[in-house]
Amino acid sequence: MGEVRELDLHVTPRTVDFPCTTLVAEVFAPDPVGPLLFVNHFPNWQLNFEHERELQAVVAARVVEERTSLRNQHVVLVGDLDADPEATSIRFWSGRQSLGDMSVCYRDAWESKHPGDPGHTYTPRNPLLWDWDWPFRRIDYIFVRCGEHGGPTLDIAACARIFDEPINGVWASDHFGLVADLAIPAHR
C-alpha cells in the first residue's frame, strides 16, 4: 500500500451528522498492472440527498483527477453509492452527466457484463432489507476509470453478485455484494 487519503464529504449542513467519506488508496499491484488507485466512495444514503451525493461525487472525482494527472494509473472506484443508475451522481460517474464544471467517465462493471439486467443489490428478496418499499434497488457499484481514447483502462472480464443467498439461513448483509475480475486489456 502507498498513500491512503480520507476525503471529507460533509458538503452541506445536512451532511454533518452522517459518516460519509471517500477513501483513496494507492495499491502497489505487480506489473503489468502497476500502481493503481482504489477508491471507496461512501456518500449520503438519504433519499432526498441526491444534491449532496452530486457534490460528494465531484469532491471525490477532483481528487482522483488531480492524482491521475500527476501519474497515469488505473482507477477502480467502488461503493454503496445509494443511488440507482438513473441518478445524476451515477450518471456523472458513468460519463453521462457533467457536474461542478467537470466530467469523468468510468465503466460500470455490472452494466458492462450484464447489459439490460437491473442487477439489484438492495432488494426485498433479502429479509434484512430495512425498508421493503425503498425505491433504489441497484445502489452498489464497481467502476473502472476510462482512458482518454476509449473504454476502461482495465478489462472487465466478469462481474457477479455475491452473498445474494443465505448460507445456513444467515444473510451476510442487507445488501448483495459485487465482485469483478479485472485484467490488462489485450489491445493495450
pLDDT at 134: 87
pLDDT at 132: 81
Q: What are phi and psi for residue 51, nearest 5 degrees?
A: -55, -45
In the 3-class helix/strand/coil scheme, how is 36-86 assigned residue by residue?
EEEEEEECCCCCCCHHHHHHHHHHHHHHHHHHHHHCCCEEEEEEECCCCCC
Q: What is the mean pLDDT of residues 25-32?
A: 93
Q: 47: pLDDT confidence band, cut at 50, 70 and 90?
A: very high
C-alpha cell at 74: 488505473
pLDDT at 186: 82
- pLDDT, averaged across the chain: 94
pLDDT at 175: 94
Q: What are the pLDDT digits (tens) for 65-88? A: 999 988 889 999 999 999 999 999
| Cα angle value 164/159/135 (rounded, 5°) | 55
Calculate the alpha carbon distances from 62 to 31, 36, 57, 157, 171 in Å: 27, 16, 9, 28, 36
| Cell 443465505 found at | 166
- Residue 113 pLDDT greater than 90, yes or no: yes
- Residue 188 pLDDT greater than 60, yes or no: no
pLDDT at 87: 97
For residue 122, the one-letter residue type is: Y
Judge if pTM exceeds 0.85. Answer: yes
Q: 138: pLDDT confidence band, cut at 50, 70 and 90?
A: very high
- Residue 49 pLDDT greater than 70, yes or no: yes
Domain boundaries, the chain: 4-183
Q: What are the pLDDT digits (tens) for 93-109? A: 999 999 999 999 999 99
CATH superfamily of the 4-183 domain: Endonuclease/exonuclease/phosphatase (3.60.10.10)
DSSP label at residue 165: S
